Amino acid sequence: MMKARYSFQGPFATVLGVNLALFSTFARPVAVQSESLLPQQTQSQSASTVVEIDADAHVDRARLILGHHLPHLFALQPKHKVGLPDVNALSQEQRYRFAIREFSAALKNKNELVGYSVSQVHGYLADTYCSLAALLRGQARKTPRQSASLRQRSRQFFDLSFRQYKLALENDPKDLKYTLAERLVGAMITAHDYNKALNLIQQLDRANIKLEPYEDHGLLRLKAEAYLALGKDEEAGLAYEDWIRRGNVDSYLMPGKGLYEKLRDLQHKTGHPNNLPS
């Protein structure tokens, strides 16, 4: 079994100095419907078979269903495959719900995690809640009769994703710190909570989170996206300008890529960013 990649030192609030009161809106308990959407055969198999699955295997099962194609995921022990549904028989919503169940089971025994850090698993769970929330919101647009119910459930799952990202950050994820902060802000933008995303970016900027050498200043890119969504094109152009100036953006701005073309249009419209590579 591989060793955990990340160790922990101190809570997020101490390391970053971020006021976690901002998260209180998203950390409140929410009632979420727990109905299973898995095929009936899988449910009956799970009910009739008692199998002891360790925490790491729960994470592996979830990632396999989500389509994370890593070699070790296809080498699960037979006992860990019991009750595992055929991924091709599941809808996307069913896959997300199965993964949520498995990640949650892993976190119930988080002290037993070896190949994953607690922070990683909270991050995986947060990503999945966010994806499910976005999916339900899309369904709401297509089914007017169920729109109100679907939107409410979508909002609940977005709130749960914010809470899980917060927990991932509180478990001191070492070199995942900035990435997780990006993912939290990205989830807020996906949820259309643009002003809250901008407020959090401001707090994180003051906290001066250290980036890894390979990372771009993604929070600035997300800041620009939030401004664009709010119709503040000039502020967005200036934020993109700052992002480009900080470096490590070449992979995003190759001519022909969607973002490059979008920034060219923004430059023609507002004069910013004025440092877009030619």
pLDDT tens sequence across 196-210: 999 999 999 888 888
254 part of a folded domain: yes
Task: Report d(CA 182, CA 217) in Å as an integer.
Answer: 9
What pLDDT digit, counting tens, does each position of 227-251 carry? 999 999 999 999 999 999 998 898 8
Whole-number pLDDT of residue 272: 96
200 part of a folded domain: no
Which stretches of the chain are DSSP H helices? 12-16, 24-27, 40-48, 55-66, 92-108, 118-142, 147-170, 177-190, 194-207, 218-229, 233-246, 258-270
203 part of a folded domain: no
201 part of a folded domain: no
142 shares a domain with 101: yes
3 part of a folded domain: no
207 part of a folded domain: no
Ranges under pLDDT 70 in the chain: 1-51
Task: Report d(CA 184, CA 163) in Å as an integer.
Answer: 9
Are the C-beta atoms of 103 and 62 separated by less than 8 Å? Answer: yes
Are the C-beta atoms of 123 and 180 separated by less than 8 Å? Answer: yes
53 shares a domain with 108: yes
As for how many domains the chain has, the answer is 2
220 shares a domain with 184: no
For residue 241, count other CB atoms closer than 10 A to its CB: 21
244 shares a domain with 164: no
178 shares a domain with 45: yes
In degrees and rounded to multiples of 5, residue 199 shows phi and psi of: -65, -40
Instruction: Look up the domain containing 156 and give its range.
Output: 14-194
What pLDDT digit, counting tens, does each position of 79-115 carry? 888 889 998 999 999 999 999 999 999 999 999 999 9
210 part of a folded domain: no
271 shares a domain with 174: no
Task: Report d(CA 240, CA 7) in Å as an integer.
Answer: 33
252 shares a domain with 187: no
Are the C-beta atoms of 174 and 7 separated by less than 8 Å? Answer: yes
208 part of a folded domain: no
114 shares a domain with 250: no
76 shares a domain with 21: yes
223 shares a domain with 189: no
35 shares a domain with 171: yes
224 shares a domain with 190: no
